[in-house]
Amino acid sequence: MSAQDQRLSSPAALRNRGPIADLLRDVLPQSGTVLEIASGSGEHVIHFAGLFPNLVWQPSDPSPEARVSIEQWAKTEARPNVLPPLEIDAANRAWPVERADAMIAINMVHISPWSATQGLIEGAGRLLPGGGVLVLYGPYRRQGQPLVPSNVEFDASLRARNPAWGIRLLDDVESLAAQSGLVLSSVTEMPANNLGVVFLRR
C-alpha cells in the first residue's frame, strides 16, 4: 500500500465474509438498497457489492477514518454500486437516510453501548418496508446455553475495554426488535461461535 493509501484491513472480515455472504444470498431482496451500519474498514460491503451487483450498497460509519477507508476500497475495487459512506452513529436518531430495502450490521452489537443497538433496531423499524430484513452477525448469549470458553474470554476483554460493551442476550435483542415491528426470522450457527440473526419487518 502507498503512503497515501488509507485503506483499513480487518483479518476477521476476510475470514467471515464468505459465510455471511451465503446467509445474505438467502435473505436479501433481488434489487434495492442495502444499508450497512458500522461498516468499519469497508471490506465487507465491498465484497458483498461484488457478489450482489444488482443491489445498491450504502455503507456508513461514525468514524472519519473508516469512511475514508471505505471510499478508497470502493475506488480501488471499482464498485460502482457502492454509494459514498454516510456518517451514522446508530445511537443518534438523526440518520441522513430515509429508507432502505434491507439492513446489515456485522460485529457491532457487542462492540458498542446498548444504546447503539436500541438505535439500530429503531432505525430498522423506521426505514425498512414490510418484509424488509435486518441481518445481524456476531456472538450472542442464548438463554439456557452457557457461553463457550472463547466467548467468555472475549466478553471479559470487551468489558475490560469498555464496561458498556459485551456479548448481548439474544432474547433481549429480540424483545427490543418486537417493539419496532421486527420479528425474529432465523438464527444460523456461524463460524467461530458467532450467529447470523435475521429479523423481518412486519
pLDDT in tens, 25-42: 999 999 999 999 999 999
Mean pLDDT of 145-149: 95
In this predicted structure, what is the pLDDT of residue 4? 81
* pLDDT category of residue 3 using cuts at 50, 70 and 90: very low
pLDDT score recorded for residue 82? 98
Residue for cell digits 456472538?
Answer: 139
Give the C-alpha separation, 164 to 41, whole Å. 22
In CATH, what class is 11-201?
A: alpha beta
Counting residues of the chain whose pLDDT is more than 70, the rounded percentage is 99
What is the pLDDT at residue 2?
52
Q: What's the CA gap between 144 and 136, in Å, rounded?
A: 21
171-199 pLDDT, tens digit each: 999 999 999 999 999 999 999 999 999 99
